[in-house]
């Protein structure tokens, strides 16, 4: 469990440990580092999203989350 300065609580999704969900209803990919092709490292994830409402599915979908 992780709490930021605004009181938002982030928790790991048990079935998907690379995702975090917040008490505010946001979702994000857990921050991680990956190697670049010519050396060095880059951080991915760590950017929270609210998602968008899908009329056809009748729920929020998170289109920016890429595995």
Closest C-alpha to 27, from 1, 65, 54, 57: 65
Q: Is the pTM of this model over 0.75?
A: no
Least confident of 18-22, 38-42, 53-57, 59-63: 59-63
Question: What are the strands, taking DSSP E only, across 1-67?
Answer: 2-3, 9-13, 16-22, 27-29, 32-35, 41-44, 52-54, 59-61
> Strand, helix or coil at 33?
strand
Residue-range domain boundaries for the chain: 2-61
> 19 with 11: CB under 8 angstroms?
no
31-39: average pLDDT: 94
């Amino acid at each position: 469990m992780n709490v930021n300065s605004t009181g938002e609580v982030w928790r790991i999704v048990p079935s998907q440990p690379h995702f975090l969900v917040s008490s505010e209803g946001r979702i994000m990919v857990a921050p991680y580092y990956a190697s670049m092709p010519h050396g060095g490292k880059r951080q991915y994830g760590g950017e929270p999203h609210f998602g968008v409402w899908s009329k056809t599915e009748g729920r929020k979908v998170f289109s920016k989350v890429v595995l």
